[in-house]
Structure 1
Amino acid sequence: MNRLLRTVFLTLVGLFIVAPLIVILVASVSTDEVLSGLPSGFTTRWLSDALANDQFQVGFAYSIRVAAIATAWAVVLGTSAAYAIHRFDVPGKSLLRAVFIAPLSLPRVVAGFCFFVLYASLVPAAYGTVGGVAFAHVLLLLPFVVSLVGAGLANLDPELEEAARDLGATPWQAFLRVTLPRIRVSMIIAAVFGFLTSFDEVDLSVFLMPADTTTLPVAIFLRLQQNQDPVTSAVSSLMIVGSLALTGLVALAARRAGLFATRKERM
């Protein structure tokens, strides 16, 4: 009975999570302009219109560039911070860890407004640029990178690095040859999660760019304010499928490379 209740509970939770996604996917291929029940037919017209939309094309390219730059910087800075926290006797280590996690508790609308004021008052040239938006996104991604990479470092015996140094390796060589290969799974997960988080960001990004040059999520948001049509559902469904496909491909590639292999399988 307990097993049955757990199964029913998990099934209901799963349906609660995926139900909105299913509705969007169905609406994007339905012939009905307003989905109020079961679709009366199916079509790819809305998907074609979404792919041909100039605003969405520009937003997609903009989002890719912003997410790639923000993810790269977040992984480098977050990995360095996590390594320093877990491997060095840093004063105020607990406080420093809390500082890196603090952006999670800051509303993104507030963060976006703060960056808008910062750019408007000090660096107006950064407003609306790929670098300016990516710099703001790094603030959102650092907590995830520090937490995920820190978890990988917590499970790694520091004596392995000490042994490498005893054998003549420099600290940098010990990190590259001993530590980095063993935390690469955490870094890959952090990079994928960070890229998708940056790509999907709306609340912060909407403050940092003009209406004629926006990321794809902001372009969707602005279109929803004017017109709620199936084209918006179509581009949203493409984002859903693309995110799931990227996550699946990375997981498959990592598994084939042996990154998720157990200790017994490696032996």
Structure 2
Amino acid sequence: MSAVAGADPVEGAPRAVPSSVTREEPIVEADIPLIFVIGAVMAFVVMLLPVVIVVLAGLNSGDYLTFPPQGLSLRWVIGFLTSQTLRTSYLLSLLIAFVVMLISTTLGTMAALFLTRVKFPGRSLLRAYFLAPLMLPGLVLGLSLYVFYVVTNVGLARTLPGMVIGHVLVTVPYVIGTVSAALYNFDVALEDAARSLGAGPLRAFRAITLPIISPGVMAGSIFAFIVSFGQFDISLFLSTPNITPLPIAIYNSLRYKFEPTAAAAGVFAIALVVLSMLLTSRLTSLARFAGIKFS
């Protein structure tokens, strides 16, 4: 077979060019009513205010968790770093979130491909079923999962694998949503062209489809990591004294001590979330992925 310009040297498949398959919507400038601007500013303040309160409370120099702080100090930040319980819980949450991210990214991507490409009766119902964990209250889902583990006697109640499964249930929908959005703009003809040039299904997916939908996959994986790291409801029912993620450790600390150490732990959790969001924006170019341009 003769070489084709822009073809992959291994299989002869054309290289994925994301710019050729993404939709560029024209920018329409319009006057935004003042009330919308005020509402947006108020929403931003409401979302940012709890973060500011937690950070300032974690830097409080007093003996108790109060706001406004009596003064600024790194006393309780150092206390968190030297606390064996909180430090262990922080590392455990990182481990759980990383494992959940890998599993959710794999399952969510596969489910998104199936729901997007395969047309069959009841597809909308199946999509709603996959997204159901987002609609159920977390406490209801956590209690139901715990009762299921106990009644079926599968040996997952209050175990690390059981907690991971619970976190996967609530994080997979995020991956399905972001990957489905990426597949919406995908031109299947590119993959068909690769298959016609001799590439197998797996090779065509890896060389053509995956590079194009990678922004959605990366965004979904980081969302899954963040949601799992801060998951409280399911962890509350499945945690044990030996398996205590950071949200549960902070809750226990506030119940018995009410020291700013818990807020200091929250500072580290917020820092991780902010870092993850910056990484998401950097790796996936969310503005371009969503078709949004800023002047």
- Which amino acid is the alignment partner of residue 35 of structure 1? T
133-142 or 84-93, larger mean C-alpha shift: 84-93
Counterpart for residue 251 of structure 2: 221
Q: CA RMSD in A?
A: 2.3
SS at match of 1:89: coil
The one of 166, 188, 202 aligned to 1:158: 188
Does 2:72 correspond to 1:42? yes
Contact 1:65–1:130 under 8 Å retained in 2: no
Partners of 1:150 and 1:176 in 2: CA distance: 17
Does 2:174 correspond to 1:130? no
SS at match of 1:35: coil
Calculate percent identity across the aligned residue pairs. 30
Contact 1:62–1:130 under 8 Å retained in 2: no
Contact 2:86–2:246 under 8 Å retained in 1: yes
What is the number of equivalent residue pairs in this alignment? 260
Structure 1: 5+ residue stretches without partners: none
Following superposition, the deviation at residue 251 of structure 1 comes to 2.9
Following superposition, the deviation at residue 35 of structure 1 comes to 2.7
Counterpart for residue 101 of structure 1: 131
- Which amino acid is the alignment partner of residue 229 of structure 2? F
SS at match of 1:204: helix
Counterpart for residue 189 of structure 1: 219
Contact 2:81–2:87 under 8 Å retained in 1: yes
SS at match of 2:41: helix
SS at match of 1:126: coil
Contact 2:101–2:221 under 8 Å retained in 1: yes
Counterpart for residue 236 of structure 2: 206
Partners of 1:7 and 1:65 in 2: CA distance: 41
Following superposition, the deviation at residue 56 of structure 1 comes to 0.9
Structure 2: 5+ residue stretches without partners: 1-30
Does 2:203 correspond to 1:173? yes
The one of 5, 8, 14 aligned to 2:44: 14
Change (3 A) 1:142 1:34: closer
Following superposition, the deviation at residue 45 of structure 1 comes to 0.4
Following superposition, the deviation at residue 124 of structure 1 comes to 5.3
1:145-201 CA-partner distances (Å, limit 9, x unpaired): 111101100111112112222222222222111111100000000000100100100
- Asked which structure has the greater CA Rg, the reply is 2
Higher helix residue share: 1
TM-score, normalised with respect to structure 2: 0.81
Partners of 2:194 and 2:164 in 1: CA distance: 37
Partners of 2:92 and 2:116 in 1: CA distance: 36
Contact 2:80–2:265 under 8 Å retained in 1: yes
TM-score, normalised with respect to structure 1: 0.89
The one of 257, 263, 287 aligned to 1:233: 263
SS at match of 2:187: coil
